[in-house]
Amino acid sequence: MGTCGGDGAIVRPLRAAGFDVIATDLADFGGEGIAAGVDYLTETLPRDVTGIVTNPPYRSAVEFARKALREAPYLALLLRTNFLKSTARLPFFRAHPPARVWISSRRLPMMHRNGWAGPTAPSNTCFAWFVWDECAAAERVIDWFDWRALPAAAEQRAAKAGSARTAYRTLPQPTPDGSGAPG
């Protein structure tokens, strides 16, 4: 399940990797196959959903996480790393520690607001995948990944440079050199 589907930046790779994805968003950002006008926080999740992967609004991230953790055994949220620090969120983390936190060792490309026509700049904000997984063998693993080292990212850059083929793959597990990815 992909909530906050936006323009499909998270949804497309998941579908291309063979996952059945139900994608929704409160607003219509033009993402193909994404149902607009759906408020995840007030909707009932279909029973057969086994995971939720999303980049929720930061101010609602805990609310998204609480609901998702009641509904699915797997949750991955792309959030700023400062999500880790807050006395207000400490009770949530004590009750629901993530199984994994995958920190992007490279800044993510700037994700501008939909319709933004102004100048673009690299992001100065560090992001991480916060993963809750009922099947995790270990608790609270923290590791790093370089999104440019991932096969899908390399193929996307090649496609933008004029290659005729773009493919997405599932993200690899971490490697000793830190070039792995969220899993």
pLDDT of residue 171: 34
pTM: 0.72
What is the percent of the chain where pLDDT is above 90? 26
Residue 66: pLDDT over 50? yes
Please check the confidence at residue 177 and state whether its pLDDT lies above 50. no
User: What count of residues does the chain have?
Assistant: 183
Sheet of 100-104, strand order: 52-54, 74-80, 127-133, 100-104, 141-145
Please, what is the Cα angle at 131 between 95 and 1, to 5 degrees? 110
Between 65 and 38, residue with greater pLDDT = 65
Q: What is the pLDDT of residue 10?
A: 73
Counting Cβ atoms within 10 Å, is residue 144 exposed (0-12), middle (13-18) or buried (19+)? middle
Domain ranges of the chain: 44-110+123-160
**How far is it between the farthest Cα atoms of the chain?**
49
Per residue in 77-134, pLDDT tens? Answer: 999 999 999 999 999 999 999 999 999 888 776 655 556 666 666 667 888 999 999 9
CATH of 44-110+123-160, one of 1.10.287.70, 3.30.2320.80, 3.40.228.10, 3.40.50.150: 3.40.50.150
